[in-house]
Amino acid sequence: MKKYTQEEFDNFKVVNGYKICPSGDYSNIKSLGENCSFGKNCSFGDCCSFGQNCSFGKNCSFGDWCSFGDRCSFGEYCIFGQNCSFGEYCRFGDCCSFGEYCSFGEYCSFGDWCSFGEYCIFGQNCSFENKGKAKKGYPFQSFIGCGSRFGSRTYIFNLQKGIFVRCGCYFGTLKDFKERVLTENGDPDYIKIVDILANKLK
């Protein structure tokens, strides 16, 4: 993967107001301006700073403490380190993962199968799993260690359309999830834990 210098980055073409940045390694560049458009599989080091309206392709990876302005968009399978911060109206594709202490502005939207570390902070009106906005307060609870796959993290989302559960490839309402657990593995303790966390969100 090509590692770009600051001089090379500064000389990239600008098309329709966007700087076009090919796939590559940008870990030596710490400050990237607004309206950048990056291809797939780009990698960025710690403490990178991006302006507004940047767009990123699939499979991009970012180090710790990166900061992003408003209205940035990210493709699928992007990975973010700890303490990354995002402005308002940022959009994330499916299967993105975030480290601990990441913070998100209002109206951010997250695709299916995204995973979040502990202590993440979310602004109001963020939306999850393409099911619409979360209710006020913390948008979800999560835990590991139950169900048929002990390593899978279970998320309980508190959305305006109701309580939804994500575990692995399953995503559905709280009621449907309970019925599925009883039918497939009959683990009442799993349901008890989900009920406790869901009640805390109400």
H or E stretch at 181? helix 174-184
Q: pLDDT value at position 37?
A: 96
Give the separation between CA 114 and CA 186, rounded to whole angstroms: 27
pLDDT, one tens digit per residue, over 77-97 is 999 999 999 999 999 999 999
Give the percent of the chain with pLDDT over 70: 97
- For residues 125-139, give the mean pLDDT: 90
Query: Which residue segment(s) compose the domain that 180 sits in?
Result: 138-202
Give the separation between CA 135 and CA 162, rounded to whole angstroms: 9
Give the separation between CA 181 and CA 48, rounded to whole angstroms: 43
Q: Has residue 58 been placed in a domain?
A: no
Q: pLDDT value at position 40?
A: 96
Q: Has residue 99 been placed in a domain?
A: no
**84's tokens:** 């990354």
Q: Has residue 184 been placed in a domain?
A: yes
- For residues 160-175, give the mean pLDDT: 91
Q: How many CB atoms lie within 10 A of CB 161?
A: 11
Number of domains in the chain: 1
Q: Has residue 173 been placed in a domain?
A: yes
pTM given for the model: 0.86
Q: Has residue 187 been placed in a domain?
A: yes
Q: Has residue 77 been placed in a domain?
A: no
Q: Has residue 23 been placed in a domain?
A: no
Q: Has residue 189 been placed in a domain?
A: yes
Q: pLDDT value at position 150?
A: 63
**186's tokens:** 């009959």
